[in-house]
Amino acid sequence: QVHLQESGPGLVKPSETLSLTCTVSGGSISGYYWSWIRQPPGKGLEWIGYIYYSGSTNYNPSLKSRVTISVDTSNNQFSLRLSSVTAADTAVYYCARCIWGRSPRFDHWGQGTLVAVSS
């Protein structure tokens, strides 16, 4: 069974860069799209971006200037960097696997990790 696990600091200072890694186990990172999604406390879900295992990316235009998603196929990991963070970036960050094809869907999710932006 595929398992995703987010890791990274739970607290980031304003104006700094948020960095998270998602480790995929129980399956290969190859052949899939891998996404980051976030959820501010008490609010809804926001798609941040995705990376294909080959390295191609697509980002939410609202965050594009600050987001970088990268992949490390040798370690079955992909990562998120979000620069110049503010309190508005405080959220639970989820990584998820997306099956593309005729009917795309996020079929596996990590448990999520809370990142707070505060000095």
Partner 1 sequence: EIVLTQSPGTLSLSPGERATLSCRASQSINSNFLAWYQQTPGQAPRLLIYGASNRATGIPDRFSASGSETDFTLTISRLEPEDFAVYYCQQYGSPWTFGQGTQVEIK
Please give the residues from 77 up to 96 whose contact with partner 1 meets the rule CB under 8 A. Answer: 94, 96
Q: What minimum distance in Å lies between the beta carbon of 47 and partner 1?
A: 4
Q: Which two tokens stand for residue 95?
A: 């990584």
Q: What minimum distance in Å lies between the beta carbon of 42 and partner 1?
A: 11
| Cα 73 from Cα 69, distance rounded (Å) | 13
| 74: CB partners within 8 A, 6+ apart | none
Q: Which of 78, 107, 75, 109 is nearest to 92 (CA)?
A: 109
Please give the residues from 11 up to 70 whose contact with partner 1 meets the rule CB under 8 A. Answer: 35, 44-47, 50, 58-62
Binding interface with partner 1 (CB under 8 A): 35, 44-47, 50, 58-62, 94, 96, 102-107, 109-112
